[in-house]
Amino acid sequence: MTALPPLPPLPRVYPAFFNAVFRGMDAERAHHIGFSMIRAAETSGASAALRRATRPKAGLATRVMGLDFPSPFGLAAGFDKQGLGTAALADLGFGHIEVGTITGQPQPGNPAPRLYRLTEDRALINRMGFNNDGAAAVAPRLKATRTLLTRRFGRRRPVLGVNIGKTKAVPLEDATGDYLVSTAALARHADYLVVNVSSPNTPGLRQLQDIESLAPLLAAVRKEADRTTGRHVPLAVKIAPDLADEDIDEVAAMAVEMGLDGVIATNTTVSRAGLSTPGAEVEAMGAGGLSGAPLKERSLEVLTRLRGALPDTVGLISVGGVTTGDDVRQRLDRGADLVQGYTAFLYEGPFWAARINRELAG
């Protein structure tokens, strides 16, 4: 059999395109346009060639939380909030894609503008507020996506994660019931499930990170997921970088005691320390979670602390400030089982994941 020629280098035209088209545009509008272009590429005649060019090499495959990931690098929740373009994103080389955050009830999120770029810092501030169509509407999309991914990729398909959060209108004391609504609708379509209690954009949500609230919430979600699916659905919790070290230790101890499958660290931060963007500009952007390069050091600190406290049986997913293959390798070397990115995707463009996979593969 004649050997296939080596794949050409992936193009680096996106930075110039970003500066020419997206830099001066409202960030949320730019996101919608960029995402629509990715989805359009999926339906074009070039989609099969794109999958071939971006598919991770077999040597990058890893097993975490009882699941087989074609690459340790995946897309964090927040980009595809509603499962509208998950299969299209899979064509770009991500080893897993985490859809969400999805809530039990549909909600529009916070008023716009609610997404801001800090280009000098390679960062974002968002206060989106879990805008989504609700679990019942998203469920059939996820079902169709899993079928499509299996048909396109076979056994080496990208893993589908589902991230769930609290509906804003639901009182905090009723939060568990709201999470169970999402669990009942979505768990059967998820390869793994994530309980998000760490977004700063839903009032009171981070109070659920207190162990007294978090442990029974996770136990209830796990029981419901397993009951409705008839199988064990790997369950992870996503925590904030703003937790005190002692609270991180408590989360780790709880994860061990419960036999939790994974911990995702970290979500966005409310801190504005160390930014290059002028303070007046940052203040004008208002409240919200900061993501991107400024989060890198704290994310690494939390990763190191958690890995020292967690056994290998608990999957550790590191996210925050990841841009290059070297960044991903650093996380893996410090004990992460998987690594996620999001913010750099907006600055690096559609071949970002494939480029990182090539750097990881050497």
Catalytic residues: 199
DSSP state, residue 132: B
196 annotated binding-site participant? yes
301: tokens are 């600190």
79 annotated binding-site participant? yes
129 annotated binding-site participant? yes
Q: Which residue has the tokens 């499930």?
A: 193
81: tokens are 């909030």
192 annotated binding-site participant? no
| Dihedral Cα 249, 253, 259, 264, nearest 10 deg | -10
68: tokens are 């087989």
304 annotated binding-site participant? no
User: Which of helix, strand or coil describes residue 102?
Assistant: strand
315 annotated binding-site participant? no
Give residues with Cβ within 8 angstroms of 19, minimum separation 6: none
Residue 212 CB neighbours (<10 A): 7
258 annotated binding-site participant? no
127 annotated binding-site participant? yes
110 annotated binding-site participant? no
342 annotated binding-site participant? yes
Give residues with Cβ within 8 angstroms of 340, minimum separation 6: 73, 74, 75, 76, 98, 264, 317, 318, 319, 322
262: tokens are 């994974």
343 annotated binding-site participant? yes
Q: Which residue has the tokens 């930075």?
A: 15
80 annotated binding-site participant? yes
DSSP state, residue 199: -
335 annotated binding-site participant? no
As a whole number of angstroms, the distance between CA 31 and CA 14 comes to 14
77 annotated binding-site participant? yes
131 annotated binding-site participant? no
What order do you get walking across the sheet with 289-292 strand by strand? 115-118, 123-126, 289-292
Residues annotated as binding site? 77-81, 101, 126-130, 163, 196, 201, 238, 266-268, 292, 321, 342-343
Residues annotated as binding site for FMN? 77-81, 101, 163, 196, 238, 266, 292, 321, 342-343
Residues annotated as binding site for substrate? 81, 126-130, 196, 201, 267-268
